[in-house]
Amino acid sequence: MGLSRILAMFIIAIAMALFVVWERNKIIEIGYQVAKLQRNCDELSEKNRKLSYYVGRLKSPENIVSKVQSLKLPLVLQGDLSGVMIAGHRKLQENVISAMKTSANKDLYSQKEMVLHGCSSRY
């Protein structure tokens, strides 16, 4: 009887030791995973910061103006097209062309009046 109790205690002690070692290894493994995820999070934060910077640059007025000029798009003030719903690119082109013609006609008309009234020194 004494021998079986000692053997049972020995087996329980070995089982507990194996459990402690297994638990310790799991803790170390989880620590490595946390470190890897932290590095990944830092890399993604850095990419996010860079992308935010690039988005800010792309949204800058200077960049938009240079793109518009390189694509040779006409710039129209927002007030010129107020209240007009545009249903496509073609409709936009038609509206821009008509607005440009109207403003050119107004300029010609005002120049004509100025010449008639003797105010041509302004131009």
Name every residue whose Cβ is closer than 8 Å to that of residue 52 and which is 6 or more positions away in sequence. Answer: none
Dump pLDDT digits (tens) for 54-95: 999 888 888 888 888 888 777 665 654 444 444 445 666 676
pTM over 0.75: no
What residue spans define the domains of the chain?
A: 1-73, 75-123
Region of residue 74 (phi > 0: left; psi between -120 and 50: alpha; otherwise: beta): beta
Residue 76, Cβ neighbours under 10 Å: how many?
14
Dump pLDDT digits (tens) for 94-116: 766 776 666 555 544 455 454 45
CA angle 90, 96, 101 (to 5 degrees): 130
Closest-CA residue to 84 (of 73, 99, 72) = 99
